[in-house]
Structure 1
Amino acid sequence: MRRRSLLTAPLALVLALSACGGDGGSTGDGGGSAAPAAADFPVTVTGDAGDVTLEARPETIVSMSASATEMLFAMGAGDQVEAVDSTSDFPAEAPTTDLSSFTPNAEAIAGYSPDLVVLSDDLNGIVDALDALAVPTLLLGAADTLEDSYAQMETLGEATGHAEEAADVVAEVQDRIDAAVESVPAEARGLRVYHELDPSFYSATSDTFIGGVYTLFGLENIADGAADTAGGYPQLSAEYVVGQAPDLVVLADTLCCGESAATFAQRPAFDTVPAVREGRVVEADDSVASRWGPRVADFAESVAATLRG
């Protein structure tokens, strides 16, 4: 199973809340393409909990992962999705329920008679519990890199009979991110970035999924220099952030915590930060910035637009 970072309680709460709002982005299509030939199944795909064999195209999918939900709809598998967990709020047509991905209940999930369940965490022993109920379960944990995200999309494409469509989504995301990076002037490389997860200065280093996006732009992440990088999510301080003088600030706490470029600048001494003085503060949609689905291309484009001025 993929090694997962252990988050502190305050940060875990912020990340949970960030998954509960926002309608940004253009990716997400509820329509499904024509059903594949029966010869395409059975298929065996590999998740973080091992191999899963699907004898037939799944027609009643339950997604307990907001990122997986976005992937499924983007590749045209939306008409196969019967239910999604309470944090899966994008796209708008996703069949959101009160199923909790934080305290998952096998019987409640099984009540939808799923022929495939997709999870991002094995909490409360949910994988074994669903296995005991003979429910095919695909565990796809949080992506550490863009390549991990692309691989998950391809896995879901194979599992749902949308392999070609999933490959198209991956190619589109890659092309959009490449174009965003290429659109930024060369002098932007080496600028310093601060990514804020909550107002208590939790951040994300270059070793995280979102940090990898900044690396593509050649940015220097100030969180990398923290005394304790805390598995990729260190808690910095106001003094540290101001002292590091970031040229770009990305606020991923606009929805959960009401932060904005204006509130950021009003903090003591923060009006001296180069990003504030030069108008390079990105007010990100929390859910887009916290998920590893197709809307990462939207995020990259927003960063590029700010870097271009």
Structure 2
Amino acid sequence: MRLPRFTAATTALPLLALGLTACSSSAAPASSAAASTTEPRRIVSLSPTATEDLFAIGAGSRVVAVDKDSDYPASAPKTTLDPITPNVEAILKYNPDLVVASQDSNGLVAALKKVGVATLIEPAANTLNDAYTQMEQLGRATGHVSSADSTVATMKSEIGTAVAQAGSKHADLSYYWELDTTYYSASSSTFIGQIVGLFGLKNIADKVSKAADGGYPQLSSEYIAQSSPSLVFLADTKCCGANAASVAARPGWSGIEAVKVDDVVSLDDDVASRWGPRLPQLVEAIAAAVEKAPAK
């Protein structure tokens, strides 16, 4: 089974093999070795979100290697390191004194502890506050506290402004969030669902979501067409080539409200699948779609 892009970069989830909601712990990270009293000078990041966070708070110059999925910012030292099944020997070739990851897999924490390398596990965020807390934790771990605090403050301000402008009470508007072209979606219980929930929208995935899918149900084309969501958000434009035109061409989809009013929103897959400093961009894209939707 091919995994939805948003879930594939995170941790174990029944049925889907990997998924966001399995990281149900709070934002407080696990560590193989207590963070060093001295600031790390050689950081390896095995998390695309952590990579973005580190560069956003000014610690990018200390990052000596990032995983194969860390494609932002462009200056990040991208390697072939695998964030899902990390190879400790390959990581140690970069002589790190701190390794940041989103999960402890392949015995990562224990193996690095044996050689005295500190690890910081920053699991997939469940809430906005988790995302903010992780950035602050990275600030403390790298000696960039004030910069991390400033970045968080800016994120909060930009997100708050976007929500205030579009409004937070739109229960009359429904939406469909597309993770891939096999119609995997995200329910309101997921991190993405909570982000969209800032605007008070109704999620069509909620009716069919079950505990077994971990908040990521696979919908049917017919169900989506019948639900006729007011907005359609495409988080699969890079991975799967989805766009407004291809959506409109799907059998039975031309009558969907969002298609008829041209409120099918093409998102950047990476921005939509991470919980780092570019979150305001995602919220602003959602806000623009909400503002565009016809009032009911």
CA 1:50 to 1:59, structure 2 compared with 1: closer, same or farther past 3 Å?
closer
Alignment partners' CA distance in 1, 2:172 and 2:275: 25
Determine helix, strand or coil for the equivalent of 1:199.
coil
Alignment partners' CA distance in 2, 1:62 and 1:178: 32
- Contact 2:67–2:83 at 8 Å: present in 1 too? yes
- The aligned runs of 1:273-284 (5 Å cut-off) are 273-284=256-267
User: Counterpart amino acid of 2:289?
Assistant: T
Deviations 1:192-215 (A, max 9, x none): 111000011100011111111111
Kindly, what percent of the aligned residue pairs are identical?
48
User: Counterpart amino acid of 1:118?
Assistant: V
Deviations 1:94-135 (A, max 9, x none): 111111112211111111111110000222111111112211
1:306 matched to 2:289? The reply is yes
TM-score (norm 1): 0.85
Alignment partners' CA distance in 1, 2:235 and 2:113: 36
* Bigger fraction of residues in helix: 1
- Contact 1:202–1:235 at 8 Å: present in 2 too? yes
- Contact 1:46–1:52 at 8 Å: present in 2 too? no
CA 1:249 to 1:233, structure 2 compared with 1: closer, same or farther past 3 Å?
same
1:140 matched to 2:115? The reply is no
Aligned partner (choices 75, 79, 85) of residue 61 of structure 2: 79
User: Counterpart amino acid of 2:51?
Assistant: T
User: Counterpart amino acid of 1:182?
Assistant: A
- Contact 1:205–1:221 at 8 Å: present in 2 too? yes
- Contact 1:14–1:256 at 8 Å: present in 2 too? no
Determine helix, strand or coil for the equivalent of 1:223.
coil
| Structural RMSD (CA) | 1.9
Residue matched to 1:257:
240
1:206 matched to 2:168? The reply is no
- The aligned runs of 1:43-122 (5 Å cut-off) are 47-49=29-31, 52-122=34-104
CA 1:159 to 1:186, structure 2 compared with 1: closer, same or farther past 3 Å?
closer
The gaps in structure 2 that reach 5 residues or longer are 11-26
- The aligned runs of 1:170-185 (5 Å cut-off) are 170-185=152-167
Aligned partner (choices 158, 165, 172) of residue 140 of structure 2: 158
User: Counterpart amino acid of 1:220?
Assistant: K
TM-score (norm 2): 0.88
- Contact 1:57–1:160 at 8 Å: present in 2 too? yes
Residue matched to 1:41:
none
Residue matched to 1:10:
2
Deviation at 1:240, TM superposition (A): 1.2
- The aligned runs of 1:185-196 (5 Å cut-off) are 185=167, 188-196=170-178
Determine helix, strand or coil for the equivalent of 2:214.
helix
CA 1:186 to 1:215, structure 2 compared with 1: closer, same or farther past 3 Å?
closer
Deviation at 1:51, TM superposition (A): 6.9
The gaps in structure 1 that reach 5 residues or longer are 1-8, 19-44
Alignment partners' CA distance in 1, 2:209 and 2:81: 39
User: Counterpart amino acid of 1:180?
Assistant: A
CA 1:49 to 1:234, structure 2 compared with 1: closer, same or farther past 3 Å?
farther
- Give the length in aligned residue pairs: 275
User: Counterpart amino acid of 2:280?
Assistant: A
Alignment partners' CA distance in 1, 2:71 and 2:230: 32
Alignment partners' CA distance in 2, 1:130 and 1:246: 48
- Contact 2:6–2:273 at 8 Å: present in 1 too? no
Residue matched to 1:35:
none
Deviations 1:1-55 (A, max 9, x none): xxxxxxxx4225675489xxxxxxxxxxxxxxxxxxxxxxxxxx95135772212
Aligned partner (choices 163, 169, 177) of residue 151 of structure 2: 169
Deviation at 1:169, TM superposition (A): 0.8
CA 1:47 to 1:219, structure 2 compared with 1: closer, same or farther past 3 Å?
same
User: Counterpart amino acid of 1:272?
Assistant: G
CA 1:122 to 1:12, structure 2 compared with 1: closer, same or farther past 3 Å?
farther
Alignment partners' CA distance in 2, 1:13 and 1:47: 24
User: Counterpart amino acid of 1:90?
Assistant: Y
CA 1:13 to 1:304, structure 2 compared with 1: closer, same or farther past 3 Å?
closer
